[in-house]
Amino acid sequence: MAPVLDVCIRGAGIVGRTLALLLARDRLRVGLVQGRAPAGHSDVRAYALNAASRQLLESVRAWPDAAHESPVRGMEIHGDEDSCVRFEAGSQPALAWIVDVPALEQRLDEALRYQSFVTRLDQPARAALTVVCEGRSSATRAEFGVQYDVQPYGQHAVAARLHAEKPHGHVARQWFQSGEILALLPLGGEAPVGGGHAVALVWSVGQSRSESLLHCPAADFEAQLVAASGGSLGQLTLASERAAWPLQLARADRWCGAGWALAGDAAHTVHPLAGQGLNLGLADVRELAQVLHAREYWRSVGDVRLLRRYERARKGDTLAMAATTDSLQQLFAQEHTGWSMLRNWGMRGFDASGPLKQWVVRQAAGRL
């Protein structure tokens, strides 16, 4: 016999599983529809999570253990020639934390195992509210008449795990070069002073170049990485398989209707250059859970007026982040000398800006 549900969540990724745990705390009966897991490859992804995301995951007892969350205490962003912007955590514990995706998913599953209000489903079931958390390739959006406006960047993100000759020092490093964006993110948990040699790679490159990087010999790949990073971490050695996926800017024209809502990448995607994709998705489900928790006693969880409160609360933030990341991507994609001079001038000015720079750090870190 099918379970009687208050909420059916379509998509059991990080966003969907987190939402299930949040709603179960309010004793809502939740059905979690599991997607088909990709086979044949290890997961080399790592996410940069801010303080707000950490607090949310800790509240549902799903934050990874110390070996799988690495604090970012500094950041270096390199532009044209010698221009560079540097950030430091200062008195804060970290600017962000780099989290292993498999470890985070395991902790979410462990938390769900002890949650009797959540039922795992192979197929969608009838519920007062359906929340679509299927990611950017969602097939369910169209069922609700949602238009998903997609603007491809013509780039792929190439990801891998690396071993660095020099310690990363809990500093995230990023290079903008000729339209490409290379990021080396610290891994390995809390490293001793002078330690920390595991890093995550995210390299945004053109599609044809991504094919070359995926299939070239490891030694060639490593040599290109060292050249692109200016040897800042010495020799870089592959420690995993390589993976790649296409990059896009996308947004849904509507986030909700009577009895349904979108969350996470099913509603919006942004360029990964700021590391805010999953933070936006987790902020979505935090807001949706709060709206449902605070609803009037006589409202159903699928009431469209209720769900529009969630849409209004989140749409502005996601549009602002999408505009910011898109503008940065477009700015650094320009190769004319005049643009290079403008970028150099802007980065040097921002690095010396004081209060503005501190405000940006607080915003990116998601301080509550």
Instruction: Specify the pLDDT at position 270.
Output: 86
Spatial CA neighbour of 199 closest among 213, 214, 190, 188: 188
Which residues, other chains included, contact 215 with Cβ-Cβ below 8 Å and sequence gap of 6+? none
Domain at 132, CATH number: 3.50.50.60
pLDDT (tens digit per residue) in 135-181: 988 989 989 999 999 988 888 999 999 999 999 999 999 888 877 88
pLDDT (tens digit per residue) in 296-329: 999 999 999 999 999 999 988 877 776 766 656 5
Instruction: Specify the pLDDT at position 368.
Output: 39
Rounded to a whole number of angstroms, the CA Rg of the chain reads 21
Q: What is the mean pLDDT of residues 266-294?
A: 90
- Cα separation, 293 vs 310, in Å, equals 12
Domain containing residue 163: 5-365
Task: Output the six-digit token pair for 146.
Answer: 């949602």
**The total number of structural domains that make up the chain:** 1
Separation of CA 325 from chain center: 13
pLDDT (tens digit per residue) in 212-231: 999 999 999 999 999 999 99
The tally of CA atoms less than 13 A away on the side-chain side of residue 85 is 22
Separation of CA 291 from chain center: 23
